[in-house]
Amino acid sequence: MEKRFYETTFIVNSSLDDDHIDNIIKSVEDMITKAGGTIVSTERIGRRRLAYPIAKRNNGYYVSLEYELADPSLVAKMERTFHHNEDILRALTLTLSPREVAAKHNRQAEAAMQTKQAEPASTQNGNNGETPAAVESDAGDAPSKNAD
Helix, strand, coil percentages (3-state) for the chain, rounded to 5, are 45, 35, 25
Tell me: the pLDDT tens digits for 86-121?
999 999 999 988 777 777 777 777 777 888 887 765
Domain extent at residue 42:
4-101
pLDDT at 128: 53
Residue 22 belongs to domain with CATH number? 3.30.70.60
Instruction: Name the strands in the sheet holding 57-69, side by side, starting at the edge strand that comes first in the sequence.
Output: 38-54, 57-69, 4-13, 88-96
Q: Is residue 88 part of a domain?
A: yes
Residue ranges of the chain with per-residue pLDDT less than 70: 1, 120-148
pTM, two decimal places? 0.68
Query: Could you tell me if residue 29 is inside a domain?
Result: yes
